[in-house]
Amino acid sequence: MFFKRTLKRFFVQTSILLGSYLNIFATEIIDIDKFSFSSTQIKGVRVVCFDTDNQRFTAVNYFVQTTPAPFKWNLLDFTFDSDCNVDLSSESKLENYTLTTKGTIKIKGKDLEEADVIDDEDASNLDRCVIKKVSDFQNNGEESKRLILTHKKIDIRTAQHIKNKLNEYSGKIKSKGALEATFYRGKEKENKAFSNLSADVSDNNKERGTLGELATTLTMIHFGYQGHFSKYGTDNGFDGIFTDNSDDPEMFITESKCRERADGVKTIMKDNLFEKKIADKLQRIFTYTHPTLSIQAKKRLVETATLVGNFINENPDKIFKFAHRIKPDGICECLVEKFDVSKYQASMLHTLSPQSPMKDKLLVLDNITTQLCLTEDEKAKLFISSLRGARAEKLELIFKALNIEDEKQEAMLAIITPKKEGRKVLNYAS
């Protein structure tokens, strides 16, 4: 009983310190990560609290590193340092909270062994904490690990469930005031508007972009999905590609915005997630040299693009598009739509040319014939019918492509060519 009272007090007090409202039963993720404002040379640790069920930031806090030496900050029952390493003073049940960090996690000062880090799908004892390790990536392709600490395993939600849930927040809602972020410098603290985190425009835009993508990432983690390396540089690639690791995986292609704009998620969906844009981004990933990326990062990027291409080719009905916008008051607008493979194919047809990569041509051709034909025989008939010219000319083209020897042509023509067309060997060598 004492343990439960202590735990409840811990989360209530932590929520107060984080600036969160006092609903300890809300499904919230506490994320701990480094931040750096390059222009103003301000860096430290960012601690945010994001309510995934209600799609809103409830707290955004910056703990500024004022000296070169590493620092630690105590938040009642847990401590974090300048490298985002977290030390929980007691092995506590997180109830409906989830804790994520790019650092390490200790419980009672004890380092977690590798055996303690498990996939949440393998968790069977719900009375213990579940530690899950997932991959995360920097914009230059560098891979890092994110630890997720939760009381129980994270259930994978179906894409349709996610679509229904998030589309509850698709309406254009007028902002109610502005969320304030708190900057801690030692014992001093300063509140700043969420829309103006730095006096430097570049720093402000970059940080707000990071927060927008973070909100999307935390949302997808909440639903049991993991991201792939898909964005490089400032605005290249995809904001996010997320899949689950079930036997029948589904995919989300995401676009996140965190800036004041008169339009909403419908415009983001139309401008940034329409099928031609997706096709263009995939083509650029495959064809661009990406000079700022390492060999390993290029490999990861191409692997992600290949994964998307395979979904489009084999399971287009498993792909969903997720537009996410964070408003000045910290509340999000969301819109999820199904990927439209017919629009994707139509956009590819407009961009294909004789100089297009063979893989692009094959992908479009295979997608179209798969959509229009039930059997391989129907595919062959459709292909032959689409060729111009008389039947004999079509056969000559096919024989040439297959390198059929002259002496074998007459026997084949005797079977498949009508007598009135003649049964002569098609000499294409001349």
Q: Please count the other Cβ atoms lying within 10 Å of the Cβ belonging to residue 351.
A: 13
Give the β-pairing of 28-37 and 42-51: antiparallel
Strand ranges in 186-248 using DSSP code E only, listed in sequence order? 188-193, 226-228, 231-232, 236-237, 240-243
Question: How many helices (H) and strands (E) are present in the chain, helices listed first?
Answer: 11, 20
pLDDT of res. 417: 63
Nearest of 82, 84, 97 to residue 32 by alpha carbon: 84
Distance CA 48, CA 379 (A): 54
**Element holding 381 (H helix, E strand):** helix 376-386
Q: Enter the DSSP assignment of 116.
A: G
Ranges under pLDDT 70 in the chain? 1-26, 76-77, 90-96, 109-129, 173, 260-262, 413, 416-430
pLDDT of res. 418: 56
pLDDT of res. 109: 65
**Taking the model in full, what pTM does it have?**
0.78
Give the tokens for residue 88.
């929980």
| Cβ pair 83, 66 in contact under 8 A | no
pLDDT of res. 123: 43
Distance CA 57, CA 136 (A): 21
**Element holding 132 (H helix, E strand):** strand 130-137
pLDDT of res. 94: 55
Q: pLDDT, tens digit, for every residue of 112-143?
A: 655 455 554 444 443 456 778 888 988 888 88
Q: pLDDT, tens digit, for every residue of 291-325?
A: 889 999 999 999 999 999 999 989 999 999 999 99
pLDDT of res. 16: 40
The alpha carbon dihedral of 273, 274, 275, 279 has a sign of negative
DSSP track, 252-296: EEEEEE-S--SS-HHHHHHHHSSHHHHHHHHHHHHH---TTS-HH
| Cβ pair 149, 78 in contact under 8 A | no
What does the buried/exposed string (b/e) look like for 369-390 if buried means 16 or more CB atoms within 10 Å of the residue's CB? beeeeeeeeebeeeeeeeeeee
φ and ψ at residue 358, rounded to 5 degrees: -60, -35
pLDDT of res. 1: 40
User: Strand 42-51's sheet: what is its strand order?
Assistant: 130-137, 143-150, 97-101, 28-37, 42-51, 56-64, 180-185, 188-193
Coil, strand or helix at 130:
strand
Report domain extents, the chain: 2-350, 387-430
pLDDT of res. 91: 54
pLDDT of res. 112: 60
Strand ranges in 151-250 using DSSP code E only, listed in sequence order? 180-185, 188-193, 226-228, 231-232, 236-237, 240-243
